[in-house]
Structure 1
Amino acid sequence: MAHTGQAGGTHFDALYKKVTWKILPWLLLGYIIAYLDRVNIGFAKLAMLSDLGMSDAAYGLGAGIFFVGYFIFEVPSNLMLHKVGAKMWIARIMVTWGLVSATMAFTVPIAQALGVSNESVFYVMRFLLGVSEAGFFPGVILYLTYWYPSSMHSRVMSIVLLGNPCSYILGGPISGALMYFMGKGATLSGWQWMFIIEAAPAVLLGVVVLFVLSDGIHSAKWLSAAEKTELVRRIAADSSEKVNVPLKSLYSLPVLWFLTLIYVLMQIGIYGINFWAPTIIRDAGVNSVLDVGLIAALPYILGATAMVLISRQAERSGKHRTYAVWVSIIAAVGLLLCTLFPHNLVFTLAGIAIAVGGSLTAIALFWGFPGTYFTGATAAAGIAIINSVGNLGGFIGPYLLGALTTLFGSPRYGLMILGASLLLSGLLMAFAGKKSSGPDGANMVASR
């Protein structure tokens, strides 16, 4: 579906630049912090497993169980955001996940106090972190649909998704340094300090967004009456072509489950990479946790650059689906490269960079699809369903990689499965170009 003219909002004019500068920096910062608190467990693993007495398989299960809590509470959370307002609910999410993330540092004393195993507390805390953070990312996606027409979603999502690589670019060196320096001669280990210190920004930003974000166009004091009218007109013109069905009927739309399957496969790949990148780099010959943190930033810098450039080119060409297919396939090739040369640092970093850049670009382009078809409460629930069920791939990927690493003593076979998942997601999107539409849009498949 292509939009033209002002009503579609295809050009990034001065009005949308104003909107972008008012809201996207805060959303990007929030996503950086969210992702850092979600994946810093990958750096903690380098020292935490021996302190907790856990195996790679137990780590993989704990890292992935985050997404079980995320899955259960994500749809209710997104519906609450739509009901009570974006800034209040996003603030609640940030403060809650920050407090839970900091509590991860005290896994051992909590286990001792309750008389249970360290593994049990680790699993519960990761589950609660997922519960706390549930709704943030789909909430951001929903929030953007309040401001931008669907033709702009890929571009703005590519900006928000910069939080993923930025969390590694900034968080890798910071996490490595905290673990290296803070654990020397201290009461707490380095990984414990890392959890505490890196959780604080989430709580602080949660308070800040109450004052800097607006719930939508009508409540934005920084917009004039004429600007509000124009934005509302463009959103209304865009929404007239979307599906808005009763929520009970949403689950019967084939397009919803088709998009969900694609997203599951994407998440299997990207979270397997993110949770295990520090371990893969260490296995390639980097021994110091400080060096691992510094080196881990390099492939994410390249990946972030690729995501921005390719997403913009896809938007200019109007070939979102074609680009999404090819970058998914290229990401799979990157993971294959890691398996072919597991002890060569140059090839390992190149493989991670290709995998990160390809998968992140595919996800940025993918999130332009749901906003093409859904609006209102249907969009809130639909986006949440796709993201919550899709994020179960974030449970499957790390768990499979951990289990296979424990079984074979190497992450090689697990990385092959992650690569196959990314490849399959690309192949499915290649068949997403055809659609048949009924009066309710129930047979539609993404065509962008």
Structure 2
Amino acid sequence: MNWVQETAIRKAMFRLVPFLIVCYFFAYIDRVNVGFAALTMNKALGLDSAAFGFGAGAFFLTYFVFEVPSNLLLERVGARKWIARIMLTWGVLSGLMAAIPTIAAETGLSTTTVFYALRMALGAAEAGFFPGILYYLMLWFPSVYRARIIGYFMAAVPFSSVIGAPLSGLLMKHMSGVAGLQNWQWLFIIEAVPTLMLSAVVLLYLTDRPSDAGWLSIPEREWLVRRMDAERRRREAIRKFSVWQALGHTRVLLLSCVCFGMAAAISGMAIFLPQIVRNFNLSLTAVGFVTAIPYLLGTVGSVWWGRRSDRLRERKEHVGLGILISGVALAASTAIDDPVAKMIALSLTSFGVCAALPVFWTLPAAFLSGSAAAGGFAIISALGNLGGFVGPYLMGNIKNSTGSFTIALLAIAALVVLAALLALTLPHEEEAETGLDEVHVEPDAARQAASGCATTVAPTAKGSGCIDVATTSKADAA
């Protein structure tokens, strides 16, 4: 690896990825903190398990409807402006969850109806954020780094629960009755504030594309622009998709089915895990800390599995095996009564699905580009996240009917295992990820470029000292 490539990737990673992790951290907390709020909110609002499950999952119905339009708008107006808009609106709506009793009293609607409406509005507001970030990362990082970069970013999902679960438990214990509000109301208000603040920071901090990155040196910026352009051309040489072709492509729809199974597992666990742990007869504070354990292992899986996939240059088996571990462990958890053993099984469930997710998103990135990639990521996320509705809704209804989570968890586990088998059978163009040579910039030439030589033009007359930054593929070289 030449020093220009190394410094360009390192600078992009340290500037963009930690900040995006923080943004997604609070996005996920605002999405699933309803699971902790339910410990006292359900009684306050008169929600049974089925009503709560429907409302919690209703987020994904509007998320599904608005996902593709939102991501296409992000591709058109730029990530910086659109991500800031998304975060502002979902922060406001997340905070408004605390006002459900007031809104119900002022409008004459039932508290259940207001709960449903706000969850659906929150889904519409947040639509496009996750696939938009994936598309944004695709613009910045070459394929050989992609699984680990997405893994770092997606570690925010389980890590948000590692931090958020104990935090939510402590807020639920200590904030009840403060200023006349109940603990679940304070939970929504306090956890919405960082999102609102970050929405302003996004406008000032993010850079839409590598070509706009003034914080990279000239040779670093030129290398990155040319490398990403070379990868785009290679994908399009295999096949170039329009947006509409991508949205209806068979492989995109099959990838959506895989995503559906994973989303059902993640959302079902995230929404109902605090209630499952509460059945161990623990205090609210203890529930928070115990609930964090599976997500701690999930954080490890998200980072380690993505790095392993990049190192071995293998995708499908990493996706399928991770999902399979999750499904088998989830099914096993239903046959276990011992709290420690059950938590071990649920931790393996979290590990498997969190490990598979980052590598999963390299699959569409290997054959889609441009607007087709923005639309493709969005439709996969949108259709897949219907599993985020099915998981909580299914678990809530089955829990109401049977009095336990056993059959509900088995149903989710079956979806997850099917998703694993499907992932293992899908095609994948490995040559789109592995066929490019490294982009070379001679150190002397790079230093000359940094001092004023243009790297975008052909070599000048002999003795000028300026050298073009060349990007070739093995196919081109042949």
TM-score, normalised with respect to structure 2: 0.86
Is 1:220 paired with 2:196? no
* 2:279 counterpart (276, 283, 286): 283
Instruction: Deviation per CA, 1:167-186: give whole Å up to 9, x if none.
Output: 11111111111111000464
* Partner Cα separation in structure 1 for residue 246 and residue 306 of structure 2: 29
Is 1:320 paired with 2:329? no
Contact 1:63 1:275 in 2 (8 A): yes
Unaligned runs of 5+ in 1: 438-448
Contact 2:151 2:302 in 1 (8 A): yes
Instruction: Deviation per CA, 1:290-335: give whole Å up to 9, x if none.
Output: 1111211122112211221222112211222112111111111221
Instruction: Deviation per CA, 1:61-112: give whole Å up to 9, x if none.
Output: 0010001111111111111111111111111111110000000001111111
Q: Percent identity?
A: 38
* Partner Cα separation in structure 2 for residue 169 and residue 82 of structure 1: 32
Instruction: Deviation per CA, 1:198-248: give whole Å up to 9, x if none.
Output: 000000011111111101111111012211110011111111222432223
* Partner Cα separation in structure 1 for residue 5 and residue 182 of structure 2: 48
Instruction: Deviation per CA, 1:255-312: give whole Å up to 9, x if none.
Output: 11111111111111111111111011111332x1111112111221122112212221
* Partner Cα separation in structure 2 for residue 348 and residue 43 of structure 1: 20
* 1:201 counterpart (179, 191, 194): 194
Aligned to 2:453: none
Aligned to 1:446: none
Aligned to 1:399: 393
Is 1:48 paired with 2:41? yes
Contact 1:91 1:206 in 2 (8 A): yes
Contact 2:5 2:220 in 1 (8 A): no
Aligned to 1:27: 20
* Partner Cα separation in structure 2 for residue 139 and residue 189 of structure 1: 35
Alignment-mate amino acid for residue 318 of structure 2: Y
* Partner Cα separation in structure 2 for residue 436 and residue 171 of structure 1: 38
* Partner Cα separation in structure 2 for residue 180 and residue 346 of structure 1: 24
Aligned to 1:309: 304
Aligned to 1:441: none
Structure 1 residue 373: Cα displacement: 0.5
Structure 1 residue 254: Cα displacement: 1.2
Is 1:295 paired with 2:290? yes
Deviates more, 1:312-321 or 1:237-246: 237-246
Contact 2:151 2:306 in 1 (8 A): yes
* 2:346 counterpart (352, 359, 383): 352
Structure 1 residue 125: Cα displacement: 0.2
Contact 1:153 1:371 in 2 (8 A): no
Aligned to 1:183: 176
User: What are the residue-to-residue correspondences of 1:364-383 with 2, within 5 Å?
Assistant: 364-383=358-377
Contact 1:263 1:425 in 2 (8 A): yes
Greater Cα radius of gyration, structure 1 or 2 = 2
Aligned to 2:452: none
Contact 1:284 1:348 in 2 (8 A): no
Aligned length: 428
Contact 1:244 1:376 in 2 (8 A): no
Partner SS for 1:245: coil
Q: CA RMSD in A?
A: 1.9
Is 1:244 paired with 2:237? no
* Partner Cα separation in structure 2 for residue 199 and residue 251 of structure 1: 33
Alignment-mate amino acid for residue 347 of structure 1: A
Contact 2:262 2:416 in 1 (8 A): yes
Alignment-mate amino acid for residue 339 of structure 1: T
Instruction: Deviation per CA, 1:145-183: give whole Å up to 9, x if none.
Output: 111123322111111111111111111111111111000
* Partner Cα separation in structure 2 for residue 14 and residue 133 of structure 1: 33
Contact 2:304 2:355 in 1 (8 A): no
Structure 1 residue 429: Cα displacement: 1.1
* Partner Cα separation in structure 2 for residue 326 and residue 145 of structure 1: 24
Structure 1 residue 349: Cα displacement: 1.5
Contact 1:285 1:345 in 2 (8 A): no
Alignment-mate amino acid for residue 285 of structure 1: N
Residue 191 and residue 12 in structure 1: after superposition, are their counterparts in 2 closer, same or farther (change >3 A)? farther
* Partner Cα separation in structure 2 for residue 139 and residue 277 of structure 1: 28
Aligned to 1:442: none
TM-score, normalised with respect to structure 1: 0.92
Aligned to 2:442: none
Alignment-mate amino acid for residue 257 of structure 2: L
Unaligned runs of 5+ in 2: 432-478
